[in-house]
C-alpha cells in the first residue's frame, strides 16, 4: 500500500472515470472552483459520494476556492508582443489593443514605478516605467503572445487585497451546505485569511479541514502564523514560482514540508507533478524524480491538476503516481525524530514500540483524527488503521500519510467491547490475520476528542 496520498483534480477528462480512479489509487478528489458552476460541482459531489459508497471507500472531496486571481480582461484575438513594446494597464476605457484592463482595477493605485508585472504564468515579463492615477505604462522585456483572461502577477508589489473574495464567500457557503471534507484557500497572505474562511464555514455549521495554499511571497514570510491556524498547507508551486523565482521553489518546498510535518499538519505538494502526461502516456525522468523527492521530503499527498482535468491519460497518470510513491517507500526515512511535548508523548511512544515489536499495524481509535496525525508525524513503518465513529473524520484522514485503512464503528463506551468489535471487522475484511499483533491507542473516555491516553498491545 502507498503511504503518501494522491489528490486528483476532477475535470472533463476524468468526470466519467471516478470509479476507476478510486480503484487505481485516488484518495481525494479536488474540485477547482476557478472553473465550472455550482450545479456542475454539486453533480460531481453527488457522483463521488455515490461511487465511494458503492466501493466502501472513504474518498474525500477537496474544494479549492479561486481566491483573488488577478486576470486581464478580454483581448480581440491575440496580442503579439516584442521586447521593448509599451503596453498600458488601465482602470477603464481601453483605447487601443495595447490597453489592458484588470479584474481588480483598484490595484493600479498600489503598484509603484520600477516594479515588475508578469503575465501568463510569467511567460511575459514587463516593468512599470510610468505611473498615472488611472493607468500604468509597462515596458515589455521579452517576446510573447497574450490572450484574454490570462493571469497577472505582481511579485514585488505590496498589494492589499483580501484572499477571500465575494465569489469565494458564496463558494464557501456552497461547500458547507454540500458537505465537502477539505477546503483549500488560494493566495493566502496571513492567518487572518484562514480565520475568515473558518468563520464563514462555522457560521454555516461546517467543520472541514482548511488548507492554506502557499503561493505568495507574503505567505512564505508569514508561514508560521498561517500554519498555526490552518489544518494543513499546499505547496502551490505554480504561482509561487512566479512570486519568488523558480530557482527558490525547491528550497521553499522543503522548508514548508519540514515545518508542516513538525506541527503534524498535512501537506500537499502540487503543480506540474506529471505535466508531460497531459499529452503523453509516459512521464519524463525529471517528473518522476520530482514526485519521488516530494515524497522523500515528507509530503502527505501529491496532487494532479491538468493531468486529470484535461489530460489524455488521467488513469495512467494516477497509476504512474502510485507506482512512484510505492517504489520511493523502499528507501523512505521512517521514524523521524522530534522533541517530544505532552501532546505527542503517546505518538512518540508508539513509534518507539514499533521498532521493538514490529507490529502488523498501528490501530488508533480516534474521534477527531488528532491522534492519527500525531502518529503519522513520526512516520512509523507499520500501516496505520484509523478507527472512528465520525464520518467526516474518516474522510479527512484520507489525506494523512500512512493511513492505509479507515474503519467506522458506532460509539461503544466499553473499551473491551470496542476492541472486540474492531477485531471482528479486521478479520472479516481480511485486514489482519489470526495471531497478528497490533499496537492500539485509545482514550479512557471513548468517543471524546482529546482523550487518548492509553497504548495497548493486542493480539488478533
| Catalytic machinery residues | 30, 71, 213, 271
Greatest alpha-carbon span in the chain: 79
Please name the helix (run of DSSP H) or strand (run of DSSP E) that holds residue 63, with its range, or none. Answer: strand 60-64
Instruction: Give the strand pairing for 232-236 and 209-214.
Output: parallel
CA angle 182, 350, 234 (to 5 degrees): 25
Q: Is 290 helix (H, G, I), strand (E, B) or coil?
A: helix
CA separation for the pair 209, 181 (Å, rounded): 7
Q: Is 29 helix (H, G, I), strand (E, B) or coil?
A: strand
Please report, to the nearest 10 degrees, the dihedral formed by the alpha carbons of residues 373, 377, 378, 380 taken in order: 60
CA separation for the pair 137, 258 (Å, rounded): 42
CA separation for the pair 318, 30 (Å, rounded): 14
Query: What separation, in Å, do the N-terminal and C-terminal C-alpha atoms of the chain show?
Result: 21
- What are the distances in angstroms from CA 2 to CA 110, 124, 303, 382, 456? 47, 40, 14, 12, 26
Q: Which residues does 245 contact at the CB level (< 8 Å), separation at least 6? A: none
Q: Which residues does 251 contact at the CB level (< 8 Å), separation at least 6? A: none
Amino acid at each position: 500500500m502507498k503511504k503518501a496520498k494522491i489528490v486528483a483534480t476532477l475535470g472533463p477528462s476524468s468526470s466519467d472515470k471516478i470509479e476507476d480512479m478510486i480503484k487505481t489509487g485516488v484518495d481525494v478528489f479536488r474540485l477547482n472552483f476557478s472553473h465550472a458552476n455550482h450545479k456542475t460541482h454539486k453533480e460531481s459531489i453527488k457522483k463521488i459520494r455515490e461511487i465511494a459508497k458503492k466501493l466502501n471507500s472513504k474518498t474525500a472531496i477537496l474544494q479549492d476556492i479561486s481566491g483573488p486571481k488577478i486576470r486581464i480582461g478580454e483581448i480581440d484575438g491575440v496580442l503579439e508582443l516584442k521586447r521593448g513594446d509599451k503596453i498600458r494597464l488601465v482602470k477603464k476605457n481601453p483605447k487601443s489593443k495595447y490597453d489592458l484592463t484588470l479584474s481588480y482595477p483598484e490595484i493600479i493605485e498600489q503598484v509603484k514605478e520600477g516594479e515588475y508585472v508578469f503575465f501568463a504564468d510569467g511567460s511575459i515579463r514587463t516593468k512599470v516605467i510610468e505611473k498615472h492615477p488611472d493607468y500604468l505604462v509597462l515596458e515589455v522585456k521579452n517576446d510573447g503572445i497574450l490572450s484574454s483572461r490570462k493571469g497577472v502577477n505582481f511579485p514585488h508589489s505590496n498589494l492589499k487585497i483580501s484572499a477571500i473574495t465575494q465569489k469565494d464567500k458564496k463558494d464557501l457557503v456552497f461547500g458547507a451546505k454540500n458537505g465537502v471534507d477539505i477546503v483549500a484557500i488560494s493566495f493566502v497572505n496571513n492567518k487572518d485569511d484562514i480565520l475568515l474562511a473558518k468563520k464563514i464555514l462555522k457560521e454555516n455549521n461546517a467543520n472541514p479541514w482548511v488548507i492554506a495554499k502557499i503561493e505568495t511571497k507574503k505567505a512564505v514570510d508569514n508561514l508560521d502564523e498561517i500554519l498555526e491556524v490552518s489544518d494543513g498547507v499546499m505547496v502551490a508551486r505554480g504561482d509561487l514560482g512566479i512570486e519568488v523565482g523558480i530557482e527558490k521553489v525547491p528550497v521553499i518546498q522543503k522548508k514548508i514540508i519540514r515545518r508542516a510535518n513538525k506541527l503534524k499538519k498535512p501537506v500537499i505538494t502540487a503543480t506540474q507533478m506529471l505535466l508531460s502526461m497531459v499529452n503523453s502516456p509516459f512521464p519524463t525522468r525529471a517528473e518522476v524524480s520530482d514526485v519521488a523527492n516530494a515524497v522523500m521530503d515528507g509530503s502527505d499527498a501529491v496532487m494532479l491538476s491538468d493531468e486529470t482535468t484535461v489530460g489524455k491519460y488521467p488513469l495512467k497518470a494516477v497509476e504512474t503516481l502510485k507506482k512512484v510513491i510505492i517504489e520511493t517507500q523502499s528507501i523512505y526515512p521512517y521514524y523521524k525524530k522530534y522533541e517530544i511535548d505532552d501532546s505527542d508523548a503517546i505518538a512518540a511512544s508508539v513509534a518507539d514500540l514499533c521498532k521493538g515489536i514490529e507490529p502488523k499495524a498501528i490501530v488508533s481509535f480516534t474521534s477527531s483524527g488528532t491522534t492519527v496525525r500525531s502518529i503519522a508525524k513520526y512516520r512509523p513503518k507499520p500501516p496505520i488503521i484509523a478507527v472512528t465513529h465520525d464520518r467526516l473524520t474518516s474522510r479527512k484522514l484520507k489525506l494523512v500519510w500512512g493511513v492505509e485503512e479507515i474503519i467506522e464503528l458506532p460509539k461503544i463506551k466499553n473499551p473491551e467491547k470496542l476492541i472486540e468489535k474492531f477485531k471482528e471487522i479486521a478479520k472479516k475484511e481480511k485486514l489482519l490475520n489470526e495471531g497478528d499483533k497490533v499496537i492500539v491507542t485509545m482514550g479512557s473516555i471513548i468517543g471524546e476528542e482529546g482523550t487518548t491516553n492509553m497504548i495497548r498491545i493486542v493480539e488478533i
